[in-house]
Amino acid sequence: MAKVELKYVMNDSKKIVVCGGGGFIGGHLVADLRRQGHADIRAVDYRPLGEWYQKFDDVENLVLDLQGKEACEEAVAGSGSVYNLAADMGGMGFIETNRALCMLSVLINTHLLMASRKAGVQRFFYASSACVYAAGKQLNPDVTALKEEDAYPAMPEDGYGWEKLFSERMCRHFTEDFGLTTRVARYHNVYGPEGTYDGGREKAPAAICRKVIEAKLSGKHEIEIWGDGHQTRSFQYIDDCVIGTQKIMQSENVTMPVNLGSSEMVTINQLVDMVEEIAGVKLKRNYNLKAPKGVNGRNSDNTLIQKLLGWQPSISLKSGLEKTYRWIYGEMKAKA
């Protein structure tokens, strides 16, 4: 992973806290902070330690339910910077059928902001989502890439998207009213190794990798695709997400929510094509038109982040999928 070079340097005398540190993105962020030499890191997650995707013995690992105010105060005590990646979420199959659970994540960010203000935290990062964007701008698979201003007038993804948009506003107002420096990134479909690939919370790249591997290992060369396969998305590899997250957190001029994603848009059918090529198979496609499929088109406009930070993703979708496929294949073979 490339070195993160920034103007603002965190105060190493204070702890860095990663909320959601047992999750997919959080685990990779903790791993990268360690690689950079940060010695005082606290990872917090509600899952039992044995269920964390990545866990490090030289990190302070806390199991806390961050929906509670007292738990948030314990999580951020003595810290200088807080990354909030904690949320009850998953792929489209989860967020379309668990809207109340997704909305309850508003308690996490609210209580973390309150606790961070009380503890004198220097900087606070909130992981938002492309699901905040107005549904009316995502009706066509040949979608115009979404700019940051396209979140308003507000009509986000029901449940999950509303929680993210509300929490963005909370960050803004804690900055305006209380002087807490906050940074917000809108993640666009992050994927990669060391994450969920089955069980209902996985996202499209991992789900398709798993389905192709299942078809290859079983010899039943068929795959079920949710929707008609024409819906479009852009997908960002985890290493790019982790670097971009830190650049945004430590920037002096990214004071508004900003897209963090790839602008390499593909259809779901094209995504399947890529994974089939990696696997060396060709599958019969069965389209489930009743399954959750989300909006018809979504893509990230990276104009603002390129202007403010000179940043853009460095890992192509094909390259990232190869790494992801190999990891999932290894996991599935080990469990077979």
Catalytic residues: 160
CB atoms within 10 A of CB 104: 15
What DSSP state is assigned to residue 300? B
* Dihedral of alpha carbons 252, 7, 2, 61, sign: negative
Strand-pair partners of 266: 233
The end-to-end CA distance of the chain, in Å, is 31
- Output the CA–CA distances (angstroms, integers) from residue 234 to 205, 253, 259, 297, 315, in the order listed: 10, 26, 12, 9, 13
**Is residue 189 a contact partner of residue 171, using CB atoms and an 8 Å limit?**
no
Residue among 53, 33, 35 at smallest CA distance from 45: 53
Helix (H) or strand (E) holding 258: strand 258-260
**Is residue 46 a contact partner of residue 63, using CB atoms and an 8 Å limit?**
yes
